[in-house]
Structure 1
Amino acid sequence: MIRKLFPPLLVSALFLLIWEGAVRLLAIETWILPAPTQIWKTFWQQLPLMQADIAATIWIALLGLCIGIVFGVIVAVFLHLFPMMEHAFYPIIVLTQNVPIIALAPLLVLWFGFGTLPKVLIVVLVCFFPITIATLDGFRQVDPTLLRYMKIAGASRLEIFYKLEWPSALPSFFSGCKVAATYSVMGAVISEWLGAQAGLGLMMQTAASAFRTDRVFVAIGTIVILSLSLFLLIQLLEEWLIRWKIKKGE
Protein backbone atom coordinates (compact mmCIF):
# COMPACT_ATOMS: atom_id res chain seq x y z
CA MET A 1 0.00 0.00 0.00
CA ILE A 2 2.81 2.44 0.92
CA ARG A 3 4.61 1.70 -2.36
CA LYS A 4 1.44 2.48 -4.29
CA LEU A 5 0.82 5.75 -2.43
CA PHE A 6 4.40 7.02 -2.46
CA PRO A 7 4.66 8.06 -6.16
CA PRO A 8 1.42 10.11 -6.27
CA LEU A 9 2.16 11.67 -2.87
CA LEU A 10 5.67 12.61 -4.03
CA VAL A 11 4.36 14.18 -7.25
CA SER A 12 1.67 16.05 -5.31
CA ALA A 13 4.23 17.37 -2.81
CA LEU A 14 6.51 18.58 -5.62
CA PHE A 15 3.59 20.26 -7.36
CA LEU A 16 2.58 22.08 -4.17
CA LEU A 17 6.18 23.19 -3.55
CA ILE A 18 6.47 24.58 -7.08
CA TRP A 19 3.10 26.29 -6.70
CA GLU A 20 4.09 27.83 -3.35
CA GLY A 21 7.43 28.97 -4.68
CA ALA A 22 5.98 30.49 -7.84
CA VAL A 23 3.38 32.49 -5.91
CA ARG A 24 6.00 33.87 -3.51
CA LEU A 25 8.72 34.57 -6.10
CA LEU A 26 6.36 36.19 -8.60
CA ALA A 27 4.40 38.02 -5.86
CA ILE A 28 1.08 36.90 -7.30
CA GLU A 29 -1.95 38.54 -5.69
CA THR A 30 -4.04 36.29 -3.45
CA TRP A 31 -7.24 37.05 -5.33
CA ILE A 32 -5.59 35.77 -8.54
CA LEU A 33 -3.81 32.67 -7.23
CA PRO A 34 -3.40 32.00 -3.51
CA ALA A 35 -0.52 29.92 -2.21
CA PRO A 36 -1.22 26.41 -0.89
CA THR A 37 -0.35 27.56 2.65
CA GLN A 38 -2.96 30.33 2.37
CA ILE A 39 -5.56 27.85 1.11
CA TRP A 40 -4.74 25.48 3.99
CA LYS A 41 -5.09 28.33 6.51
CA THR A 42 -8.42 29.37 5.01
CA PHE A 43 -9.63 25.77 5.09
CA TRP A 44 -9.18 25.50 8.85
CA GLN A 45 -10.74 28.91 9.36
CA GLN A 46 -13.78 28.03 7.25
CA LEU A 47 -14.21 24.40 8.33
CA PRO A 48 -16.68 25.12 11.17
CA LEU A 49 -18.74 27.28 8.80
CA MET A 50 -18.58 24.71 5.97
CA GLN A 51 -20.19 21.82 7.83
CA ALA A 52 -23.70 22.63 6.64
CA ASP A 53 -22.46 23.05 3.04
CA ILE A 54 -20.53 19.77 3.14
CA ALA A 55 -23.50 17.91 4.63
CA ALA A 56 -25.88 19.30 1.98
CA THR A 57 -23.60 18.29 -0.89
CA ILE A 58 -22.95 14.83 0.57
CA TRP A 59 -26.69 14.22 1.00
CA ILE A 60 -27.51 15.13 -2.60
CA ALA A 61 -24.51 13.17 -3.95
CA LEU A 62 -25.24 9.99 -1.94
CA LEU A 63 -28.98 10.01 -2.62
CA GLY A 64 -28.46 10.57 -6.34
CA LEU A 65 -25.68 7.97 -6.47
CA CYS A 66 -27.79 5.29 -4.77
CA ILE A 67 -30.77 5.94 -7.04
CA GLY A 68 -28.44 6.06 -10.06
CA ILE A 69 -26.94 2.68 -9.13
CA VAL A 70 -30.36 1.04 -8.75
CA PHE A 71 -31.67 2.62 -11.95
CA GLY A 72 -28.49 1.82 -13.89
CA VAL A 73 -28.52 -1.85 -12.85
CA ILE A 74 -32.22 -2.22 -13.66
CA VAL A 75 -31.72 -0.73 -17.13
CA ALA A 76 -28.62 -2.88 -17.76
CA VAL A 77 -30.34 -6.10 -16.68
CA PHE A 78 -33.44 -5.29 -18.73
CA LEU A 79 -31.43 -4.57 -21.87
CA HIS A 80 -29.33 -7.69 -21.36
CA LEU A 81 -32.27 -10.03 -20.87
CA PHE A 82 -34.07 -8.56 -23.89
CA PRO A 83 -31.50 -8.17 -26.70
CA MET A 84 -34.01 -6.54 -29.04
CA MET A 85 -34.52 -3.77 -26.50
CA GLU A 86 -30.77 -3.35 -26.20
CA HIS A 87 -30.42 -2.83 -29.96
CA ALA A 88 -33.25 -0.28 -29.83
CA PHE A 89 -32.32 1.72 -26.72
CA TYR A 90 -28.52 1.43 -26.44
CA PRO A 91 -27.81 4.11 -29.10
CA ILE A 92 -30.39 6.40 -27.48
CA ILE A 93 -28.74 6.01 -24.08
CA VAL A 94 -25.38 6.91 -25.62
CA LEU A 95 -26.86 9.92 -27.42
CA THR A 96 -28.36 11.27 -24.19
CA GLN A 97 -24.83 11.72 -22.84
CA ASN A 98 -24.09 14.22 -25.62
CA VAL A 99 -26.48 16.68 -23.98
CA PRO A 100 -24.48 18.83 -21.50
CA ILE A 101 -25.89 18.40 -18.02
CA ILE A 102 -25.41 22.13 -17.38
CA ALA A 103 -27.83 22.78 -20.27
CA LEU A 104 -30.38 20.25 -19.04
CA ALA A 105 -30.28 21.39 -15.42
CA PRO A 106 -32.30 24.63 -15.94
CA LEU A 107 -35.09 22.59 -17.54
CA LEU A 108 -35.26 20.32 -14.49
CA VAL A 109 -35.48 23.37 -12.26
CA LEU A 110 -38.24 24.79 -14.48
CA TRP A 111 -40.21 21.53 -14.32
CA PHE A 112 -39.64 20.56 -10.67
CA GLY A 113 -38.76 23.80 -8.90
CA PHE A 114 -35.79 24.65 -6.69
CA GLY A 115 -36.19 21.84 -4.16
CA THR A 116 -34.24 18.65 -3.66
CA LEU A 117 -35.84 16.68 -6.51
CA PRO A 118 -34.18 18.43 -9.50
CA LYS A 119 -30.79 18.31 -7.75
CA VAL A 120 -31.11 14.57 -7.14
CA LEU A 121 -32.27 14.01 -10.74
CA ILE A 122 -29.17 15.77 -12.04
CA VAL A 123 -26.93 13.43 -10.02
CA VAL A 124 -28.95 10.40 -11.16
CA LEU A 125 -28.57 11.40 -14.80
CA VAL A 126 -24.82 11.81 -14.31
CA CYS A 127 -24.39 8.47 -12.49
CA PHE A 128 -26.64 5.98 -14.24
CA PHE A 129 -24.82 6.02 -17.61
CA PRO A 130 -21.39 4.67 -16.51
CA ILE A 131 -23.10 2.05 -14.34
CA THR A 132 -25.40 0.90 -17.16
CA ILE A 133 -22.64 0.72 -19.77
CA ALA A 134 -20.11 -0.94 -17.47
CA THR A 135 -22.61 -3.56 -16.29
CA LEU A 136 -23.69 -4.35 -19.84
CA ASP A 137 -20.04 -4.82 -20.82
CA GLY A 138 -19.65 -7.15 -17.87
CA PHE A 139 -22.55 -9.29 -19.06
CA ARG A 140 -20.85 -9.60 -22.46
CA GLN A 141 -17.61 -10.88 -20.92
CA VAL A 142 -19.08 -14.11 -19.57
CA ASP A 143 -16.91 -17.17 -20.16
CA PRO A 144 -18.47 -18.85 -23.24
CA THR A 145 -17.33 -22.30 -22.07
CA LEU A 146 -19.15 -21.98 -18.76
CA LEU A 147 -22.19 -20.56 -20.52
CA ARG A 148 -22.29 -23.49 -22.92
CA TYR A 149 -21.82 -25.95 -20.04
CA MET A 150 -24.76 -24.49 -18.09
CA LYS A 151 -27.00 -24.66 -21.15
CA ILE A 152 -26.04 -28.31 -21.71
CA ALA A 153 -26.75 -29.00 -18.03
CA GLY A 154 -30.29 -27.69 -18.54
CA ALA A 155 -30.00 -24.48 -16.51
CA SER A 156 -32.86 -22.03 -16.97
CA ARG A 157 -32.35 -18.48 -18.22
CA LEU A 158 -32.69 -17.04 -14.71
CA GLU A 159 -30.28 -19.61 -13.28
CA ILE A 160 -27.70 -18.70 -15.90
CA PHE A 161 -28.16 -15.04 -15.06
CA TYR A 162 -27.92 -15.30 -11.26
CA LYS A 163 -25.24 -18.01 -11.10
CA LEU A 164 -23.01 -16.99 -13.99
CA GLU A 165 -23.73 -13.70 -15.75
CA TRP A 166 -24.31 -11.47 -12.72
CA PRO A 167 -21.24 -12.73 -10.78
CA SER A 168 -19.14 -12.31 -13.92
CA ALA A 169 -20.38 -8.74 -14.34
CA LEU A 170 -19.58 -7.66 -10.76
CA PRO A 171 -16.04 -6.33 -11.49
CA SER A 172 -17.38 -4.21 -14.35
CA PHE A 173 -20.33 -3.11 -12.22
CA PHE A 174 -18.02 -1.87 -9.47
CA SER A 175 -15.85 -0.10 -12.04
CA GLY A 176 -18.93 1.79 -13.18
CA CYS A 177 -19.85 2.55 -9.57
CA LYS A 178 -16.41 4.03 -8.90
CA VAL A 179 -16.71 6.31 -11.92
CA ALA A 180 -20.24 7.27 -10.92
CA ALA A 181 -19.11 8.00 -7.35
CA THR A 182 -16.69 10.65 -8.56
CA TYR A 183 -19.33 12.08 -10.90
CA SER A 184 -21.95 12.22 -8.14
CA VAL A 185 -20.21 14.97 -6.18
CA MET A 186 -19.63 16.94 -9.38
CA GLY A 187 -23.32 16.57 -10.28
CA ALA A 188 -24.37 17.72 -6.82
CA VAL A 189 -22.18 20.83 -7.09
CA ILE A 190 -23.56 21.66 -10.55
CA SER A 191 -27.12 21.30 -9.26
CA GLU A 192 -26.34 23.72 -6.42
CA TRP A 193 -25.21 26.37 -8.91
CA LEU A 194 -28.81 26.67 -10.06
CA GLY A 195 -30.16 27.61 -6.67
CA ALA A 196 -29.57 26.26 -3.19
CA GLN A 197 -29.62 27.37 0.42
CA ALA A 198 -26.47 25.41 1.29
CA GLY A 199 -23.81 23.34 -0.45
CA LEU A 200 -20.28 23.52 -1.79
CA GLY A 201 -21.59 24.76 -5.14
CA LEU A 202 -23.24 27.72 -3.43
CA MET A 203 -20.07 28.33 -1.44
CA MET A 204 -18.03 28.43 -4.66
CA GLN A 205 -20.41 30.93 -6.26
CA THR A 206 -20.42 33.19 -3.22
CA ALA A 207 -16.63 33.09 -2.87
CA ALA A 208 -16.06 33.77 -6.59
CA SER A 209 -18.41 36.77 -6.59
CA ALA A 210 -16.49 38.18 -3.61
CA PHE A 211 -13.09 37.51 -5.29
CA ARG A 212 -12.16 35.13 -2.44
CA THR A 213 -10.14 32.80 -4.62
CA ASP A 214 -8.73 31.03 -1.58
CA ARG A 215 -12.24 29.98 -0.55
CA VAL A 216 -12.92 28.77 -4.08
CA PHE A 217 -9.85 26.53 -3.85
CA VAL A 218 -11.01 25.35 -0.43
CA ALA A 219 -14.33 24.29 -1.95
CA ILE A 220 -12.55 22.58 -4.87
CA GLY A 221 -10.24 20.73 -2.48
CA THR A 222 -13.20 19.60 -0.37
CA ILE A 223 -14.98 18.34 -3.49
CA VAL A 224 -11.88 16.35 -4.47
CA ILE A 225 -11.64 14.82 -0.98
CA LEU A 226 -15.32 13.83 -1.01
CA SER A 227 -14.99 12.27 -4.48
CA LEU A 228 -11.91 10.29 -3.48
CA SER A 229 -13.61 9.15 -0.27
CA LEU A 230 -16.60 7.77 -2.17
CA PHE A 231 -14.27 6.13 -4.69
CA LEU A 232 -12.25 4.42 -1.95
CA LEU A 233 -15.42 3.38 -0.11
CA ILE A 234 -16.73 1.56 -3.16
CA GLN A 235 -13.30 0.03 -3.78
CA LEU A 236 -13.23 -1.32 -0.22
CA LEU A 237 -16.75 -2.67 -0.67
CA GLU A 238 -15.68 -4.39 -3.88
CA GLU A 239 -12.64 -5.99 -2.25
CA TRP A 240 -14.70 -7.15 0.73
CA LEU A 241 -17.39 -8.64 -1.50
CA ILE A 242 -14.86 -10.45 -3.68
CA ARG A 243 -13.10 -11.89 -0.59
CA TRP A 244 -16.49 -12.94 0.80
CA LYS A 245 -17.41 -14.69 -2.46
CA ILE A 246 -14.04 -16.49 -2.55
CA LYS A 247 -14.42 -17.71 1.04
CA LYS A 248 -18.00 -18.76 0.35
CA GLY A 249 -16.84 -20.65 -2.75
CA GLU A 250 -14.21 -22.47 -0.73
Structure 2
Amino acid sequence: MKKYKSSIIVSIVFFIIWEALARYIDAMYILPSPSRIVEKIWLLREPLFLVHLPSTLLVTFIGLAISIVLGVGLAITMSLNEKIEKAIYPIVVVTQTIPITALAPIFVLWFGYSIWSKVVVTILITFFPITVNLYDGLRSTKREMEELLITYGASKRDIFIKLKFPSALPYFFSAIKIAVPLSVIGAAISEWLGSQSGLGYFSKRMMTQLDGAAVFAPIVILSLAAVILVFIINLLENKIIKWRNE
Protein backbone atom coordinates (compact mmCIF):
# COMPACT_ATOMS: atom_id res chain seq x y z
CA MET A 1 0.00 0.00 0.00
CA LYS A 2 2.94 2.34 0.76
CA LYS A 3 4.04 1.86 -2.83
CA TYR A 4 0.87 3.59 -4.09
CA LYS A 5 0.58 6.20 -1.31
CA SER A 6 1.75 9.11 -3.49
CA SER A 7 -0.60 8.11 -6.32
CA ILE A 8 -3.55 7.90 -3.93
CA ILE A 9 -2.81 11.36 -2.50
CA VAL A 10 -2.45 12.92 -5.97
CA SER A 11 -5.71 11.26 -7.08
CA ILE A 12 -7.60 12.56 -4.05
CA VAL A 13 -6.32 16.10 -4.63
CA PHE A 14 -7.22 15.86 -8.32
CA PHE A 15 -10.80 14.79 -7.60
CA ILE A 16 -11.24 17.49 -4.94
CA ILE A 17 -10.14 20.16 -7.44
CA TRP A 18 -12.40 18.62 -10.11
CA GLU A 19 -15.38 18.60 -7.74
CA ALA A 20 -14.80 22.23 -6.74
CA LEU A 21 -14.31 23.39 -10.33
CA ALA A 22 -17.43 21.56 -11.55
CA ARG A 23 -19.53 23.11 -8.80
CA TYR A 24 -18.11 26.55 -9.58
CA ILE A 25 -18.84 26.27 -13.33
CA ASP A 26 -22.24 24.77 -12.57
CA ALA A 27 -22.74 23.32 -16.05
CA MET A 28 -23.23 19.59 -15.52
CA TYR A 29 -23.67 18.82 -19.23
CA ILE A 30 -20.16 20.23 -19.91
CA LEU A 31 -18.20 19.27 -16.78
CA PRO A 32 -20.08 17.00 -14.38
CA SER A 33 -18.66 16.65 -10.88
CA PRO A 34 -17.20 13.31 -9.69
CA SER A 35 -20.00 12.98 -7.14
CA ARG A 36 -22.59 13.43 -9.90
CA ILE A 37 -20.86 10.83 -12.07
CA VAL A 38 -20.82 8.31 -9.20
CA GLU A 39 -24.50 9.02 -8.60
CA LYS A 40 -25.25 8.45 -12.29
CA ILE A 41 -23.32 5.17 -12.26
CA TRP A 42 -25.44 4.00 -9.35
CA LEU A 43 -28.71 5.04 -11.04
CA LEU A 44 -27.72 3.33 -14.31
CA ARG A 45 -25.97 0.34 -12.71
CA GLU A 46 -28.17 -2.32 -14.33
CA PRO A 47 -27.63 -1.39 -18.02
CA LEU A 48 -24.02 -0.36 -17.39
CA PHE A 49 -22.84 -3.43 -15.47
CA LEU A 50 -25.22 -6.12 -16.72
CA VAL A 51 -25.42 -5.22 -20.42
CA HIS A 52 -22.76 -2.82 -21.67
CA LEU A 53 -19.73 -3.69 -19.51
CA PRO A 54 -19.87 -7.44 -20.34
CA SER A 55 -20.15 -6.56 -24.04
CA THR A 56 -17.06 -4.34 -23.90
CA LEU A 57 -15.05 -6.81 -21.81
CA LEU A 58 -15.86 -9.63 -24.23
CA VAL A 59 -14.47 -7.60 -27.13
CA THR A 60 -11.46 -6.63 -25.02
CA PHE A 61 -10.58 -10.19 -23.96
CA ILE A 62 -11.06 -11.73 -27.41
CA GLY A 63 -9.08 -8.97 -29.11
CA LEU A 64 -6.31 -9.12 -26.51
CA ALA A 65 -6.06 -12.91 -26.67
CA ILE A 66 -5.74 -12.88 -30.47
CA SER A 67 -3.24 -10.01 -30.27
CA ILE A 68 -1.07 -11.97 -27.83
CA VAL A 69 -1.04 -15.04 -30.09
CA LEU A 70 -0.38 -12.92 -33.19
CA GLY A 71 2.22 -10.70 -31.51
CA VAL A 72 4.13 -13.57 -29.90
CA GLY A 73 4.08 -15.52 -33.16
CA LEU A 74 5.38 -12.58 -35.20
CA ALA A 75 8.06 -11.68 -32.62
CA ILE A 76 9.40 -15.24 -32.43
CA THR A 77 9.35 -15.65 -36.22
CA MET A 78 11.22 -12.37 -36.77
CA SER A 79 13.80 -13.21 -34.10
CA LEU A 80 14.53 -16.60 -35.70
CA ASN A 81 14.78 -15.45 -39.32
CA GLU A 82 16.38 -12.16 -40.38
CA LYS A 83 14.89 -12.26 -43.89
CA ILE A 84 11.37 -12.64 -42.51
CA GLU A 85 12.10 -9.82 -40.03
CA LYS A 86 13.08 -7.47 -42.88
CA ALA A 87 9.91 -8.40 -44.79
CA ILE A 88 7.43 -8.25 -41.88
CA TYR A 89 8.69 -5.49 -39.60
CA PRO A 90 7.94 -2.58 -41.99
CA ILE A 91 4.41 -3.94 -42.53
CA VAL A 92 3.88 -4.13 -38.76
CA VAL A 93 4.91 -0.46 -38.47
CA VAL A 94 2.69 0.61 -41.38
CA THR A 95 -0.38 -0.87 -39.68
CA GLN A 96 0.03 1.77 -36.95
CA THR A 97 0.09 4.70 -39.39
CA ILE A 98 -3.50 4.18 -40.58
CA PRO A 99 -6.09 6.05 -38.47
CA ILE A 100 -8.34 3.55 -36.69
CA THR A 101 -11.30 5.94 -37.00
CA ALA A 102 -10.98 5.61 -40.77
CA LEU A 103 -10.84 1.81 -40.72
CA ALA A 104 -13.57 1.10 -38.16
CA PRO A 105 -16.49 2.02 -40.47
CA ILE A 106 -14.98 -0.24 -43.15
CA PHE A 107 -14.90 -3.15 -40.70
CA VAL A 108 -18.56 -2.46 -39.91
CA LEU A 109 -19.31 -2.76 -43.64
CA TRP A 110 -17.42 -6.06 -43.81
CA PHE A 111 -18.62 -7.68 -40.58
CA GLY A 112 -21.78 -5.70 -39.82
CA TYR A 113 -22.52 -4.84 -36.20
CA SER A 114 -21.23 -8.22 -35.03
CA ILE A 115 -18.55 -8.61 -32.39
CA TRP A 116 -15.86 -9.21 -35.01
CA SER A 117 -15.89 -5.67 -36.42
CA LYS A 118 -14.96 -4.47 -32.92
CA VAL A 119 -12.47 -7.28 -32.26
CA VAL A 120 -10.50 -6.45 -35.43
CA VAL A 121 -10.17 -2.80 -34.32
CA THR A 122 -8.93 -3.95 -30.91
CA ILE A 123 -6.38 -6.30 -32.51
CA LEU A 124 -5.01 -3.55 -34.76
CA ILE A 125 -4.40 -1.32 -31.76
CA THR A 126 -2.93 -3.92 -29.39
CA PHE A 127 -0.79 -6.37 -31.37
CA PHE A 128 1.90 -3.79 -32.23
CA PRO A 129 3.33 -3.17 -28.72
CA ILE A 130 3.29 -6.91 -28.01
CA THR A 131 5.15 -7.72 -31.22
CA VAL A 132 7.77 -4.97 -30.95
CA ASN A 133 8.46 -5.30 -27.21
CA LEU A 134 8.78 -9.08 -27.28
CA TYR A 135 10.95 -8.93 -30.41
CA ASP A 136 13.30 -6.49 -28.64
CA GLY A 137 13.29 -8.79 -25.61
CA LEU A 138 14.28 -11.82 -27.66
CA ARG A 139 17.15 -9.83 -29.17
CA SER A 140 18.33 -8.53 -25.79
CA THR A 141 20.21 -11.68 -24.80
CA LYS A 142 23.99 -11.30 -24.71
CA ARG A 143 25.90 -12.98 -27.49
CA GLU A 144 28.52 -14.21 -24.99
CA MET A 145 25.88 -16.19 -23.10
CA GLU A 146 24.63 -17.78 -26.32
CA GLU A 147 28.18 -18.76 -27.27
CA LEU A 148 28.74 -20.22 -23.79
CA LEU A 149 25.65 -22.43 -24.13
CA ILE A 150 26.77 -23.51 -27.61
CA THR A 151 30.14 -24.63 -26.20
CA TYR A 152 28.23 -26.82 -23.74
CA GLY A 153 26.43 -28.44 -26.66
CA ALA A 154 23.11 -26.57 -26.43
CA SER A 155 20.87 -26.64 -29.49
CA LYS A 156 19.00 -23.62 -30.89
CA ARG A 157 15.90 -24.90 -29.12
CA ASP A 158 17.75 -25.10 -25.79
CA ILE A 159 19.08 -21.55 -26.25
CA PHE A 160 15.60 -20.24 -26.98
CA ILE A 161 13.89 -22.03 -24.07
CA LYS A 162 16.61 -21.59 -21.43
CA LEU A 163 18.05 -18.20 -22.37
CA LYS A 164 16.07 -16.09 -24.83
CA PHE A 165 12.57 -16.83 -23.54
CA PRO A 166 13.32 -16.10 -19.85
CA SER A 167 15.23 -12.93 -20.83
CA ALA A 168 12.26 -11.72 -22.88
CA LEU A 169 9.63 -12.29 -20.16
CA PRO A 170 9.97 -8.80 -18.59
CA TYR A 171 9.55 -7.27 -22.05
CA PHE A 172 6.50 -9.45 -22.64
CA PHE A 173 4.78 -8.36 -19.44
CA SER A 174 5.62 -4.72 -20.15
CA ALA A 175 3.98 -5.14 -23.55
CA ILE A 176 0.87 -6.69 -22.00
CA LYS A 177 0.60 -3.81 -19.52
CA ILE A 178 0.66 -1.42 -22.48
CA ALA A 179 -1.74 -3.52 -24.55
CA VAL A 180 -4.41 -3.93 -21.84
CA PRO A 181 -5.42 -0.24 -21.65
CA LEU A 182 -5.13 -0.01 -25.44
CA SER A 183 -7.47 -2.99 -25.83
CA VAL A 184 -10.07 -1.27 -23.64
CA ILE A 185 -9.66 1.93 -25.68
CA GLY A 186 -9.91 -0.03 -28.94
CA ALA A 187 -13.12 -1.73 -27.83
CA ALA A 188 -14.65 1.60 -26.78
CA ILE A 189 -13.66 3.32 -30.05
CA SER A 190 -15.12 0.52 -32.14
CA GLU A 191 -18.36 0.66 -30.15
CA TRP A 192 -18.49 4.42 -30.52
CA LEU A 193 -18.18 4.19 -34.31
CA GLY A 194 -20.52 1.29 -34.89
CA SER A 195 -22.28 -0.90 -32.35
CA GLN A 196 -25.55 -1.68 -30.64
CA SER A 197 -24.12 -2.33 -27.17
CA GLY A 198 -21.06 -1.64 -25.05
CA LEU A 199 -19.81 1.22 -22.91
CA GLY A 200 -18.58 3.19 -25.92
CA TYR A 201 -22.00 2.91 -27.54
CA PHE A 202 -23.70 3.93 -24.28
CA SER A 203 -21.47 7.01 -23.92
CA LYS A 204 -22.25 8.09 -27.48
CA ARG A 205 -25.98 7.62 -26.91
CA MET A 206 -25.88 9.72 -23.75
CA MET A 207 -24.00 12.47 -25.58
CA THR A 208 -26.94 12.96 -27.93
CA GLN A 209 -29.07 13.60 -24.82
CA LEU A 210 -26.55 16.18 -23.47
CA ASP A 211 -26.26 14.17 -20.25
CA GLY A 212 -22.67 14.94 -19.23
CA ALA A 213 -22.61 12.69 -16.16
CA ALA A 214 -23.96 9.73 -18.16
CA VAL A 215 -21.30 10.35 -20.85
CA PHE A 216 -18.54 10.27 -18.22
CA ALA A 217 -19.96 7.25 -16.36
CA PRO A 218 -18.86 4.62 -18.94
CA ILE A 219 -15.47 6.35 -19.24
CA VAL A 220 -14.92 6.00 -15.48
CA ILE A 221 -15.91 2.33 -15.59
CA LEU A 222 -13.55 1.72 -18.55
CA SER A 223 -10.68 3.39 -16.66
CA LEU A 224 -11.32 1.30 -13.55
CA ALA A 225 -11.51 -1.89 -15.64
CA ALA A 226 -8.14 -1.07 -17.26
CA VAL A 227 -6.55 -0.32 -13.87
CA ILE A 228 -7.81 -3.60 -12.40
CA LEU A 229 -6.57 -5.62 -15.39
CA VAL A 230 -3.11 -4.01 -15.25
CA PHE A 231 -2.99 -4.70 -11.49
CA ILE A 232 -3.74 -8.38 -12.17
CA ILE A 233 -0.98 -8.48 -14.82
CA ASN A 234 1.41 -6.96 -12.26
CA LEU A 235 0.55 -9.71 -9.77
CA LEU A 236 1.14 -12.39 -12.41
CA GLU A 237 4.44 -10.79 -13.40
CA ASN A 238 5.72 -10.73 -9.81
CA LYS A 239 4.60 -14.34 -9.38
CA ILE A 240 6.26 -15.63 -12.56
CA ILE A 241 9.40 -13.51 -12.74
CA LYS A 242 10.61 -14.04 -9.18
CA TRP A 243 14.27 -14.00 -10.18
CA ARG A 244 14.13 -10.32 -11.14
CA ASN A 245 13.48 -9.25 -7.54
CA GLU A 246 16.15 -11.50 -6.04
TM over 0.5: yes
Please give the per-residue CA displacement for 1:161-203, whole angstroms capped at 9, x wherever unaligned.
Answer: 1111111101001110111111111111111123222100111
Matched, 1:104 2:119: no
Structure-2 separation of matches of 1:41 and 1:212: 13
Structure-2 separation of matches of 1:71 and 1:25: 49
2:29 is matched with which residue?
Answer: 31
1:1-250 paired onto structure 2 within 5 Å: 2-26=1-25, 28-51=26-49, 52-243=51-242
CA-CA distance at 1:213 after TM superposition: 0.6
CA-CA distance at 1:57 after TM superposition: 0.3
Letter in 2 for 1:107: I
Unaligned runs of 5+ in 2: none
CA-CA distance at 1:144 after TM superposition: 2.4
Tell me the TM-score normalized by structure 2.
0.94
Sequence identity of aligned pairs in percent?
39
Higher alpha-carbon deviation: 53-62 or 158-167: 158-167
Aligned Cα root-mean-square deviation (Å): 1.6
Structure-1 separation of matches of 2:194 and 2:22: 34
Letter in 1 for 2:217: V
CA-CA distance at 1:138 after TM superposition: 0.2
Contact 2:105–2:194 (Cα < 8 Å) also in 1: no
SS at match of 1:155: coil
Please give the per-residue CA displacement for 1:21-59, whole angstroms capped at 9, x wherever unaligned.
Answer: 122234x21111111111111111111221210000001
Contact 2:195–2:201 (Cα < 8 Å) also in 1: yes
Structure-2 separation of matches of 1:128 and 1:81: 19
Structure-2 separation of matches of 1:25 and 1:124: 42
CA-CA distance at 1:133 after TM superposition: 0.3
Tell me the TM-score normalized by structure 1.
0.93
Structure-2 separation of matches of 1:147 and 1:167: 13
Please give the per-residue CA displacement for 1:90-140, whole angstroms capped at 9, x wherever unaligned.
Answer: 122112111111111112122222211111111111111000000001011
Structure-1 separation of matches of 2:116 and 2:9: 42
Instruction: Report how many residues are paired.
Output: 244
SS at match of 1:6: helix
Please give the per-residue CA displacement for 1:36-95, whole angstroms capped at 9, x wherever unaligned.
Answer: 111111111111221210000001101110111011000111111111111222122112
Higher alpha-carbon deviation: 193-202 or 177-186: 193-202
Structure-2 separation of matches of 1:185 and 1:39: 20
SS at match of 2:73: helix
Contact 2:37–2:216 (Cα < 8 Å) also in 1: yes
Letter in 2 for 1:206: R
